[in-house]
Amino acid sequence: MIPALGPGSGPIIVRMMICSSLWGSGFLFMRLVGPDVTPVVLASVRAGIAAIALSVFFVLRGDNPLPQKSDLVPWLTLGTLNGWVPNILTAFAILHIATAQSAIIQAGGPLMVAVMAHFAFHDEKLTLRRIGGVLTGFCGMALLIGPAAFQGLSGEGLGFLAMLGVAACYALGNIYARFVREMPPARMALGQQVVSATVATLIALLWSGTAGYLPALDRAVPLLALGLFATSIPITVFMGLIRMAGPTKASMVGYLMPLWATFFALTFLGETINLRQIVGAAIILLGVFIVTTAPRRVA
């Protein structure tokens, strides 16, 4: 069964709605930034703003935001898997495919987590129900992608491939995070953004120099919104949600995020979705539901 929230769950529901809506808005803000800002520069500015905001948050609560020796490996790993790589791929993908489709593909990440966890953890073995959920979700992805899967490395096909890479990165990051037991989640989030900003900025400067940042000046408002409202704030809220409700209930945010992203795309961007995409999205979310609510089996 899906985790019951029970009486007195109002604050938990509020945090879920805040977190999912803000994360979902990230796709809207990236679309509003437009194609003039390259994906690498967008990833650099987004993570930079989030890293500064989280560092200020640490200082205000009396914590040291500077990395310690024990932080380096987790920060570098999470900053790559959950930071600059998926940020660049997402920014690239929305140049080729619709916002709602991007969010739905990313929401299928738990399907990949289930497969990877089967090999990584003895208490996360795939049961028949979880295998059925994974297969169901992948069938939904195939339906959602549709003919674009046969276009090769061009157009929509390349965009969908990028979002599949995003989902795989986040899945690997989630698996790795389970091995990092001594570092507080908020500190992992800080390191993730610091490394993401540093690497993305280095790539951007090597690729296009400081001139690559000039178009970003005209997109300051959506970029600030992306870094603050769609990155640093939801990460902080999510960490509080984990402490308040536990990781299982907190994971329910994943069901809400693509719905918010779709709502923003339809309302503010004028995008449309067809019946095939709606059915594909529903099948993906059904597969995720089956996987995340199925009982675990120990080997």
Hey, where are the domains in the chain? Answer: 11-293
pLDDT (0 to 100) of residue 156: 82
Each residue's pLDDT tens digit, 13-24: 888 899 889 999
Most distant CA pair in the chain, distance: 55
8 pLDDT higher than 70: no
116 pLDDT higher than 90: no
Q: How far apart are CA 243 and CA 16, in angstroms?
A: 13
Most confident range (mean pLDDT) of 80-89, 95-104, 171-180, 183-192 is 80-89
Average pLDDT, the chain: 86
Split at pLDDT 50, 70, 90, the class of 1 is very low
Q: How far apart are CA 151 and CA 15, in angstroms?
A: 40
Split at pLDDT 50, 70, 90, the class of 3 is very low
Q: How far apart are CA 254 and CA 271, in angstroms?
A: 22
Split at pLDDT 50, 70, 90, the class of 251 is low
67 pLDDT higher than 60: yes
pLDDT (0 to 100) of residue 299: 55
Q: How far apart are CA 242 and CA 256, in angstroms?
A: 16
How many other CB atoms are there within 10 angstroms of residue 59's CB atom? 11
Most confident range (mean pLDDT) of 221-225, 243-247, 273-277 is 221-225
pLDDT (0 to 100) of residue 104: 86
The mean pLDDT value for 195-204 works out to: 97
pLDDT (0 to 100) of residue 108: 82
pLDDT (0 to 100) of residue 246: 59
| Among the listed residues 267, 280, 260, the one whose alpha carbon sits nearest the alpha carbon of residue 26 | 260
Distance (Å) of CA 58 to CA 16, 73, 89, 184, 293: 22, 20, 29, 12, 34
- What percentage of the chain reaches a pLDDT higher than 90? 44
Q: Which of 7-21, 84-98, 119-133 has the lowest mean pLDDT?
A: 7-21
Q: How far apart are CA 67 and CA 52, in angstroms?
A: 14
Each residue's pLDDT tens digit, 254-269: 778 888 998 999 999 9
pLDDT (0 to 100) of residue 214: 95
pLDDT (0 to 100) of residue 111: 84
The mean pLDDT value for 267-295 works out to: 86
Split at pLDDT 50, 70, 90, the class of 193 is very high
Split at pLDDT 50, 70, 90, the class of 2 is very low
Dump the DSSP string for 197-213: HHHHHHHHHHHH-GGGG
The mean pLDDT value for 98-127 works out to: 84
